[in-house]
Structure 1
Amino acid sequence: MTAHVLTACQWILLAGCIGASIYTMAAALAMPFFSARHQSVHHGRASSAGAALRSAFFPHSRPFAQGGVSVLKPLCGAEPRLYENLRTFCEQRHGHFQLVLGVSSPHDPAIAVVRRLQAAYPTRDIELAIDTRVHGSNLKVSNLINMAARARHDVIVIADSDIAVDADYLDSVAAPLADPDVGVVTCLYVARGVGGFWPRVGALFINEWFAPSVRVAHATGSRRFGFGATLALRRATLECIGGFDALKNCLADDYWLAEHVRALGLRTVLSRVMVATDVIEPTFGALWQRETRWLRTIRSVNPPGFASLLITFPTPWLLASAALTVSFATRAGGHAPCVAMIASASATAVCFGARLLLHLRASRRARTFWRDLPLVPLRDTLIALQWLFSAFGSHVVWRGARMPVGTPAAGRGGQLDSFT
C-alpha cells in the first residue's frame, strides 16, 4: 500500500491523531515539575516545601501597598470540608485582612459553620452576611453584590467556598497588584476527591485535563481566563467595570469579571500559587451534570476554543491511531511501511508515552499514580462523550438553578442572551 491511496477520511483521522499526540506531549510538559510533592495544601495545613517553592517564585512577595485585603467567599450549604477549607483563610500570615462570608438564606446550614469559625478565631475579622435580596439570574453574583458593601479594604479577593490555601496565600496573590498594569490575579487549583469512586474520577477531570489545557493556553500566550478559585483585584478596578452588578446575569461570572478588566487595558496574571479544591459529587449523574455545565460554559464564552477541545482527549485518539496503524500494516501486505503507517505508529507511541507522563506529573504521590492509572482511559473517554453532549443543549443546572446558555451580547456588560 502507498500513502497516495488513502481516503480523505483516513487523512483527516491521521491528522487528528498527530495533532492529539502533539497536544498531549505539550500538556505533559506544561505541567510543573514536582507539582505533586510541592502542592502545599494538604488537609488545611501548609507545607514548608510549598512555601519555599513560592518564595522562589515571588522573591519580593509582600502585601499590596502594605494595605488590607477583603476576602469575599459566597457560601451555599454545608459542604463536606467547609470548616477545614475556611479555616485555612483564617490562618493567613497577612497582617491586615477581613473575611466576608455570605449566604442568601437565614436557614443556610453554612451559617452554623461560620459561627463555629468565629468562635475558634475570635481575633480574626470574620463577618457573616445574611441577605435574601436577589439581583439578576446568577445567584452567586447576587450573593457577592450583597456582600460587597461590607468589604472595607482596597484589595478584593474572591474565592470559592471549597478552596483551601496556604498561610502565605494572601501575600502571594496580592503582590502582583502592586504593578498598576496588572488588573486581575487568578489561580489554578489541584483537585482532591472527597468520598468514593466518582469524586476520584472528577478530580482527574481537573488535574489531568482542565489544568493542563490552561497551562498549554498560557504557554502559547493566551490570557483570556479567570477562575473562581481566586480572583484578586483592586477595589478601584472593580468599580471601573461597574462592580458585581455587571456580572449579575452572566453564566461564567469568573471569566467575565477578568474579561471586563482586560477590556480596561489591564493584564491578567496567572499566579504560580496553586490552591486546593474539593470534588464531592457522589454519583455518576451528579458528576456528569457538573462537568457538562463546565463544558457548556466554555462553549458559551469561546465557541472556537470549545471546538478545538476535540484534540485534547488522548485515549480516544490513541485508540484511533493504533487502529490506523494496524489497518495500514495489514493492507501493506508485508511490503515496506508507507509514510502514513510510520506517522500513525509514531503518533500512537508519542500519545501513549505523553499520556503516561501527564498522569505521572499530575499525580501527587506514587500510590495515587498506580491507584488511578486504570481510571485514565475511562476519564479520557468520558470527557470526550461529555464534550460531544455539551455541543448541544441550551441550559445548565448550577446549585439547583436552571440557567440558559446563550451567546455573549455585545458591549461591556458581557451578559448572556436569553436571560429573562
Structure 2
Amino acid sequence: MQHLPILIGAALGWLAIAIAACGVGFLLVSAHTFRRFFAAAVPAPARNEAVTLLKPLYGAEPRLFDNLATFLAQTHGGPLQIVLGVQRADDAAIGVVAALKAAHPQTDIELVIDATVHGASGKLSNLINMDRVARHPILILSDSDIAVAPDYVAQLLAALDAPGVGAVTCLYRGRGDAEFWSLMAAAGVSYQFLLGATFGVAKRLATPCMGSTIALRRETLDAIGGFARFADVLADDYAIGASVRALGLEVAVPPMLVTHACDESSADALWRHELRWAATVRDLTFWPYVGSIVGLPLPVAVLAALYWPAAGVILALAAIFARWVVVRSVDAAVGRPVASFGIALLHDFAAFAVYIASFFVRSVDWRGATLTMKQDGRIAAATEH
C-alpha cells in the first residue's frame, strides 16, 4: 500500500504524456484543416431581399458605435432594417444609438426600449420585445459585440439559399479592445475556440449555432416556436440551432469570419466570462468537452514533466511549436495578429485552469446577474454564486 501513491503518480504522468502527445498532433492537424476550410471562401454578389438585423444591446461597450456601423456599411441592395433593443431607459447604449442615427439619417434604424421580462434570460427578453417591430421576412440576429465585413449579409443570404438549409451561423475571431486582459480573451477565442470549432465543422463532428450570427427566415422561426421558446435557456443560440435541425433542416456554417470584440478589463472579468462559456459547453456536450483537453497540450506537458521530466520537456517544446503553427494560420486568415505569441501561450495555462474549474460550477454570471444552471440546459435566477 505504501507504493500506491507512487504508482498513481506514475500512471497520471503517463496519462498526461499521452494527452499532450495527442494534443500536439491535434493542433497541427487542426491548423491544416483551418487553412483548407477558409481557402474555400468565395465572393458573394449583392442581394435584394428584405432583411431585418436584430441587435440586443446592454451598455456602451468599447467601440460599440464602430461595431454597429459595420452592419450599416453593407453591399446589400435590398431593404435593410436594423432593430436595436435595450431593457432600461437609462442604458448607456441609447446614446450610442442616437449617434448612430445621426450619422446614418437615411438608414432604417429602430430602437426598442422595453423592460418587459419574459424569462430568466435577459437577452431573450430583449429579443422578444424587439421582434414585434421587425418587418422583413429574413432575420439576422447577432450579439452586440460583433463587427462584420461589407459582404456579410450577401454571404449569409447565399448560404441560406442552399437546399435544405434552415439557418446560417458564423465562426468568429477575437479582437482585444481593452488592453492586456482583452487580448488574452481574444487569443482564447481565436487560437483555441475558433480552431476547435472549425475542425469540428469541417470534419462534421460538431453542429454549432452561435450568437455571433443566426440568420433564418420568419417561417422557420415561427416553426420552432419563436424566441419565447428559449426565454429560460442559457445557451439559446445552441437551442435555436437544435430546434432548426429538429425540423429536418441544416444549420450552415460558411467559410467566413466575423469579429467578436473582447472588452475584458480585468482578470476577474476574463475568468467569469470564460468560466460561463466553459460551463455552458460542458452541460451541452459533456464528453466532447472532457476530450477538449487535447487542445491544451502545453499545460498538460508541463504537468507530465513533474513525473517524467525528459518526456515532458520534449512534449512542451513540441506543444509550443504546434501553438506557433496555429497562431500563424489564424493570423493569416484574419489578416493581422490577434495577439502576441506570448499571450497565446499564457492563455493556454489560463484556459487549463478554467477547464478544471468548470467541472465544479453550477451557477454563472451573465451581465451582472447570477443564473443557476439546471440539468436540462435551462436557467433560473439565483441569489448567490
Q: Same fold (TM over 0.5)?
A: yes
How far 1:350 moved relative to its partner?
4.3
The whole-number CA distance in structure 2 between the counterparts of 1:13 and 1:195 is 35
Task: Assess if the C-alpha contact under 8 Å between 2:19 and 2:297 holds in 1.
Answer: no
* Structure 1 residue 255 corresponds to structure 2 residue 217: no
> Out of 80, 84, 96, which is 1:101 matched to?
84
CA distance in 2 between counterparts of 1:58 and 1:352 reads 33
Offset at residue 109 of structure 1 (A): 1.1
Question: Which amino acid in 1 is paired with 2:25?
Answer: I
Identity in percent: 35
Alignment check: 8 A CA contact 1:301 1:407 kept: no
Structure 2 Cα separation of the partners of residues 260 and 58 of structure 1: 29
How many Å apart are 1:416 and its aligned residue? 1.6
Structure 1 segments unaligned to the other structure (5+ residues)? 1-5, 36-52, 328-340, 409-414
Q: Deviations over 1:142-195 (max 9, x none)?
A: 000001111111111001111111111111112121234101111111211112
**Residues 275-312 of structure 1 deviation map (CA, whole Å, 9 limit, x = unaligned):** 11211111101110111010011012111122112221
Counterpart for residue 20 of structure 1 = 23
Distance in 2, matches of 1:34 and 1:226, equals 18
The CA deviation at 1:208 is 0.7
Give yes or no for contact 1:100–1:147 (8 Å, CA) kept in 2: yes
Equivalent residue number for residue 131 of structure 2 = 148
User: Match of 2:211, as an amino acid?
Assistant: G
Q: How much does 1:393 deviate?
A: 1.6
What letter matches 1:57 in structure 2?
A: A
Do the aligned partners of 2:33 and 2:202 also contact (CA within 8 Å) in 1? yes
Alignment partners' CA distance in 1, 2:336 and 2:144: 28
Distance 2:274 2:298 in 1: 18
- The SS at the match of 1:374 is helix
Cα distance, 1:367 vs structure 2: 8.6
Alignment correspondent of 1:392: 360
1:209 matched to 2:209? The reply is: no
What secondary structure, in the 3-state scheme, does the structure 1 residue paired with 2:254 have?
strand
The CA deviation at 1:354 is 1.4
Aligned position for 1:57: 41
In the alignment, which of 359, 366, 371 is matched to residue 327 of structure 2? Answer: 359
Cα distance between partner residues in 1 of 2:10 and 2:95: 65
Residue of 66, 76, 97 corresponding to 1:114: 97
Contact 1:14 1:321 in 2 (8 A): yes
Distance in 2 of aligned mates of 1:111 and 1:418: 28
CA contact (8 A) 1:158 1:232 kept: yes
- Offset at 1:348? 5.2
Q: 2:219, 2:42 → 1: CA distance?
A: 24
The aligned amino acid for 1:104 is Q
Letter in 2 for 1:88: T
Partner residue in 2 for 1:46:
none
Alignment partners' CA distance in 2, 1:15 and 1:141: 43
- Counterpart in the other structure of 1:164: 147
CA spacing shift, 1:144–1:18, aligned 2, 3 Å: same
What is the alpha-carbon distance in structure 2 between the residues aligned to residue 107 and residue 17 of structure 1? 50
Of the three residues 367, 375, 379, the one matched with 1:407 is 375
Alignment pair present for 1:90 and 2:82: no
User: In structure 2, what is the equivalent of residue 41 of structure 1?
Assistant: none
Distance 1:194-1:139 versus aligned 2 partners, 3 A rule: same
Q: Give the TM-score, by structure 1 length.
A: 0.82
Corresponding residue for 1:334? none
What TM-score comes out, normalization by structure 2 length? 0.89
Give the aligned partner of residue 274 of structure 1.
257
Given that 1:173 and 1:273 are in contact with CA atoms closer than 8 Å, whether structure 2 keeps it comes out as no
Mapping of residues 61-72 of structure 1, within 5 Å: 61-63=45-47, 66-72=48-54
Residue 38 of structure 1 corresponds to none
Extract unaligned runs of 5+ from structure 2: 1-8
Q: Which amino acid aligns with 1:357?
A: V
Counterpart check, 1:372 vs 2:340:
yes
| 1:237–1:261 CA contact under 8 A, matched in 2 | yes
Q: Secondary structure at the match of 2:35?
A: coil
Q: Distance in 1 between matches of 2:203 and 2:130?
A: 37
Pair 1:222 & 2:225 matched: no
Partner of 1:234: 217
- The Cα RMSD (Å) is 2.5
